[in-house]
Amino acid sequence: EIYGLELLDFYTRARAATAQHANNIKPLHWNTFEPILDADKARKHEEARDQAEKLLVEVQDGPFHDRLLYHYGKACRLTKLPALAKPQLRLLIDRYAGRSDFYDEALYQLASIHLESGEWKDAAPLFERLLRDIPDTHIQDRAVIGLARIALELKDKIRATEWLDLFDRSFPKSPVK
């Protein structure tokens, strides 16, 4: 009987500690995330970056963590801070592969950072992975153009022509030029 009372006391204390811990956690709610989306839509990338950066300090996981990583990485890229963007986008790609709606976008953003930095050999595998792993992504055209540009930069005119021919055949109505 004493053992049973001790066990009951342990369970009671454990439940209380768990409840206290749960109360201390601040979940990321949609209304917390919405201003970042609004700033992104308005192309106020510095504002989106600053808001996302504040939340990243508080939120290390949760239902919107992948979106937060993506929007921070994108905003850093667009405000010319690739060194800040790379680790966040890489974290999204590594942690949320196949589980995030932003996986394809993160691959594209990270590949674009490498492309803009002249890191052709780092960009190409990311664009290829995007096409291979997510064949129905809405940004296929951008990945194909990215690969064509890389081939041109590497002086591989044959491969660049192949990518551009694929682009012309596959995406005749694409706004990407």
**pLDDT tens, position by position, 4-21:** 556 566 667 777 777 666
For 154-166, b/e burial (b = at least 16 CB within 10 A) is eeeeeebeebbee
Q: Are 111 and 123 a contacting pair, CB within 8 Å?
A: yes
Closest CA to 111 of 103, 119, 99: 119
pLDDT of residue 1: 45
The whole-number pLDDT of residue 11 equals 66
Q: Where are the beta strands (DSSP E) in the chain?
A: none
- Supply the mean pLDDT for the chain: 87
Other beta carbons within 10 Å of 113 = 23
Largest CA distance in the chain: 83
Q: How far apart are CA 164 and CA 147, in angstroms?
A: 9
Contact partners, residue 141, CB within 8 Å, separation at least 6: 167, 170, 171, 174, 176
72-101 confidence digits (pLDDT tens): 999 999 999 999 999 999 999 999 988 888
The pTM assigned to this predicted structure is 0.79
What local confidence, expressed as pLDDT, does residue 21 receive? Answer: 60
pLDDT < 50 stretches in the chain:
1
Spatial distance between the Cα atoms of 85 and 135, rounded to a whole number of angstroms? 25
